[in-house]
Structure 1
Amino acid sequence: MSPHAHIADAIKAPDLIRLERNLYVARFETMKVYSTLAAVQGLLDSGRIGPEATLIDSSSGIYAYALALACHKFGLKCHIVGSKTVDRALMLQLRILGATVEQVEPQPTLKLDQSLRVARIRELLAADPNLHWMQQYHDDIHYDGYAPVAAQIVAGLDCAPLSVVGGVGSGCSTGGLARALRAAEPGVQLIGVQPFGSMTFGCQHLEDPGIIIAGIGSSIPFRNVRHALYDQVHWVSFDYGLSGAVALLREHAVFAGLSSGCCYLVARREARRDPQRNVVFLAADTGHRYVEGVFAEYERALDPDALAPVAIESLQQLQLPWSAMAWGRADFDPARFEPAASGCVAPATAEPALAH
């Protein structure tokens, strides 16, 4: 066994685990390390940043850790504008790794939290133009790091027929995987998972009465989300995500985060609906930061066999706790979509033509 040069190289790749006959999980310790290493290496190689650069970005957790690791490996400085969801364990790691971290005040909504973090970054850039904003939400350099993950999936279980399930978030993980997998097999299906309250696929009008599922939704437009890559979209509530995370641990001993619970519910259903198709879902991180908010509440977890989505044909029909829609690789502009208080009323060009 050859030693790794840095811990980031050791933890960047997922473990591919078979859960059922045609159901697999790509289980990451922390998902965004692969893409962040590739992005920073590309910036250095192209000369966009120098060896004395300070890299800055906003994060609710996973990306902050990935960026701090990348900066540690390459000897760069790192500054994170974080949300209050950055817990003490992660905060201590970031600071010991050499990153400077500031947290915005807690906000009642995802929109206010993300907007405040971005506004703070713009203030910092105005004061110091030598900072380099990584823009995980907008710079497509973050797509490049997922090609090796796609190669690992192909080596492990081939890519035809295959469905990939993952939280949408910035769009890079699921989008990068789909792009790489479809280079060999265009029929690979991509299923995106969203929280209620996210505008990315037109659900900003429905707030989850639970908590914000950090990292897989958005309250501001993300340029890295390429809507035309997605075949289906599922919106999953906090309570159902909790139930999925508990079931994943109980049934398969996989200790993963809240978004992984959402993806497990969706992937489990898809695998059972089509036994001839392999289904792999992304478990973006471990369950450690969800111990109190999710796993300590395991007794109220619902039986996953009793949970099913409501199939919708229009964004006007979105409803809690779980909605599913055939997206049909349609284009969509969330910035032009204006949901009304009692439903979704969109300009004629805003809602996609959907495959049913």
Structure 2
Amino acid sequence: MPIIKDPHLFNEQSLFVDLEGMLGRRLYLKIEGFNFAGSIKLKPAREMVERAEREGLIGPGSILVESSSGNLGVALSMIAASKGYRFVCVIDPRCNPATRQVMESLGAQVDLVTEPDPVDGFLGARLNHVRDLCASDERYIWLNQYSNPGNWGAHYRWTAPEISNQFPDLDVLFVGAGTTGTLMGCARYFREHRPDVRIVAVDAVGSVSFGGRPATRLIPGLGMSVRPPQLDESLIDDVVMVEELDTVRACHRLAAGGFMLGGSTGTVVHGAI
């Protein structure tokens, strides 16, 4: 049993669920929620903060700031509390109220934007708020998950090798696309080490990441209202778009088997099927 002093030092990295009996497909699901942040976002949060520390960007009085739909904000709130940093998370109305309460319980300041940007939607409004904060006070340090190489680098370093080691005969890897950090980290790793594995991105209908038309999306986690700066489509073999209603159906199907999992997971599972 591990003994830790800091919450970000524990993360169950080798748990997979065999879905064949439930879904009738030879499909395995990597479970990333068994850590103190409760999601895969612990990995990029840790990598981005440690990268900023190594580069000397965080000093006395620094205030970390990030835009998040929820899970990254929780992970950064936890790390900031552990390290004694102040943290501001900028969210929009789609963020789950319970998620906001968790961030505030961990000591984070949560700023809610209520009006979408006319062109770039709620994400654009969140980013505008972050830029305004940084312009108002030099103490604000924007980690910027959207272009920070630590985002995809965390998954190149940890997530992709964990999958590769467990499945030497892997045929296709389905990865949800939000900021595309997970997608790009995994795609780069497999292109370099196992180019025979096909990489399929799974995105939500209404997201513009892969050139689709913007539309209202209610489930946070996947999809973007602006094109992700880190996205390199040359590393992807295929894209599957999923309607939110199908996401909900997939979550209900998983719950009927005893697995209570989130919207991003339901989207990827439906896309894979």
Q: What TM-score do you get using the length of structure 1 for normalisation? A: 0.69
Contact 1:55 1:79 in 2 (8 A): yes
Q: Which residue is equivalent to 2:151?
A: 142
Structure 1 residue runs without a partner (length 5+): 270-356
Q: Of the two, which has the highest radius of gyration?
A: 1
**Residues 1:155 and 2:159 are matched in the alignment:** no
Task: Return closer, same or farther for 1:172/1:51 CA change in 2, 3 Å cut-off.
Answer: farther
Listed as ranges, the matches of 1:216-295 within 5 Å are: 216-251=222-257, 253-267=258-272, 269=273
Superposed CA offset, 1:169-225 (max 9, x none): 1010111122223332112211111112211111125x36xx433221111122112
Superposed CA offset, 1:84-136 (max 9, x none): 12233222221121111110115599932111111111111110122111111
Q: Which residue is equivalent to 2:133?
A: 124
Q: Which has the higher contact order (CA 8 A, sep 6+)?
A: 1
Secondary structure of 2:131's counterpart equals: helix
Task: Return closer, same or farther for 1:64/1:14 CA change in 2, 3 Å cut-off.
Answer: farther
Contact 1:167 1:216 in 2 (8 A): yes
Q: Which residue is equivalent to 1:300?
A: none
Q: 1:43: Cα distance to partner?
A: 1.4
Q: 1:51: Cα distance to partner?
A: 5.3
RMSD of aligned alpha carbons: 2.2
Q: 1:11: Cα distance to partner?
A: 3.9
Q: What TM-score do you get using the length of structure 2 for normalisation? A: 0.88
Q: In structure 2, how many angstroms separate the alpha carbons of the residues matched to 1:258 and 1:9?
A: 26
Task: Return closer, same or farther for 1:262/1:88 CA change in 2, 3 Å cut-off.
Answer: closer
Give the partner amino acid of 2:229: R
Q: Which residue is equivalent to 1:8?
A: 8
Contact 1:150 1:181 in 2 (8 A): yes
Q: In structure 2, how many angstroms separate the alpha carbons of the residues matched to 1:51 and 1:229?
A: 40
Q: Which residue is equivalent to 1:76?
A: 85
Listed as ranges, the matches of 1:1-356 within 5 Å are: 1-11=1-11, 13=13, 15-20=15-20, 22-29=26-33, 30-50=39-59, 52-105=61-114, 107=116, 111-146=120-155, 147-158=157-168, 160-205=169-214, 207=215, 211-251=217-257, 253-267=258-272, 269=273
Structure 2 residue runs without a partner (length 5+): 34-38
Contact 1:195 1:212 in 2 (8 A): no
Q: In structure 2, how many angstroms separate the alpha carbons of the residues matched to 1:96 and 1:75?
A: 14
Give the partner amino acid of 2:160: A
For these two proteins, the number of residue pairs brought into alignment is: 263
Q: In structure 1, how many angstroms separate the alpha carbons of the residues matched to 2:165 and 2:175?
A: 19
Q: In structure 2, how many angstroms separate the alpha carbons of the residues matched to 1:58 and 1:223?
A: 15
Q: In structure 2, how many angstroms separate the alpha carbons of the residues matched to 1:69 and 1:227?
A: 33
